[in-house]
Amino acid sequence: MSIAAKFEIEYLQYLDAEGKQVRKDLPAFAKDLDHMVELYKLMLSTRVFDAKSVALQRTGKLGTYASCLGHEAAHVGIGSAMRPEDVYAPSYREYGAQLYRGVQPREVYMYWGGDERGNDYQKEPARHDFAWSVPIATQCLHAAGSALAFKIRGEKRVAVCTIGDGGSSKGDFYGAINIAGAQNLPLVAVIVNNQWAISVPRKIQSGAPTLAQKGIAAGLYCIQVDGNDIIAVRKAMEDALERARNGEGGSVIEAVTYRLGDHTTADDARRYRGEQEVKDAWAKEPMKRLRAWLVDKGVWDDAKEEAWKAECDEWMDNEVNAYLETKTQPVTAMFDYTFAEVPADLAKQREYVLSLENKGH
């Protein structure tokens, strides 16, 4: 019997759950301890931001919010590997990557507060990234379209999209990676496998041993990494981005992590997962291991941690105030940005709403 094809999925890890280095061949960026400290500081900033965001929602100052607790290494690893000219198509919780690329917390708050102006990022390089995508997996198609444009234009740019484990079962994801493989597009699709598609566990989402191997059928390079190890995530991203930039095709990266919080603030994860499972996940969380590694290297300590947390608190207070002080849009804004010429029925509604506002309703 002849064999039509064989494949295997590599697993990449540099730091174990205790922060012990398990490989000697550290990539160049990880040998720069000052840079690693900066990455840790952004991870810590992201966690402070996340806690503040949940508090804002609980006090009625935000709508539903999607927490990123436990995803800090995966997200910062993705964002820090990208070049400014690359394009990012996120879903709705990859704040660490977006903060690295210039998205401001006040913009996140505007979005979750119901103001679409939050999607109009003001800083580079985020200004040419895509808006948050709540419809599951549609952002993957946007990224694939961008990658096709880069190829047609002959630009050395890469489109990156992120998707959850559950979202990787959507047809939009498969369509995106299929066209990337068929057309040899510069696309890097990262599956952030946090083990839970809302209330559906990974074990019943897919019969595949890894989610990374979904890219095999599309003809893409595939790898699974420890998503709680920022060195592994960043290294896999750098390699994938370089291959794509050099015309060597796209990649699917599975970053295995865990969602330590609820799916969103509208969810209560205690209804469907056990206390021991979450406790075990906390023992493997990303902040703990990188901090232990940096402390062992002599470049981080408790005093620096507390000082940075104080800076983060001040930063967040400023961002929250900027959000709360943002003037609301006029009621007519809901009619003004969809059509070049407003249809008659909407024009009539616009006039009616405006009359109610003028009467003080």
Spell out the alpha helix ranges (H) of 87-170. 95-100, 105-112, 138-153
Spell out the alpha helix ranges (H) of the chain. 28-31, 33-58, 72-81, 95-100, 105-112, 138-153, 171-182, 230-245, 275-282, 286-296, 302-324, 333-336, 344-358
Sheet with 221-226: strands ordered across: 10-12, 221-226, 251-256, 187-193, 159-164, 87-89
**Cβ(115)–Cβ(67) under 8 Å?**
no
CA distances from 282 to 18, 89, 261, 266, 286 (A): 12, 28, 11, 22, 9
**Cβ(14)–Cβ(22) under 8 Å?**
yes
Show which residues are catalytic.
259, 263, 272
**Cβ(280)–Cβ(215) under 8 Å?**
no
> Under DSSP, is residue 276 helix (H, G, I), strand (E, B) or coil?
helix
Among candidate residues 209, 341, 227, the one with its CA nearest the CA of residue 281: 227
Side chain identity at residue 75, one-letter code: H
Peptide linkage before 125 cis (omega within 30 of 0): yes
End-to-end CA distance of the chain: 78
- Provide the token pair at 93: 């919780």
Torsion sign (Cα): 44, 225, 151, 247: positive
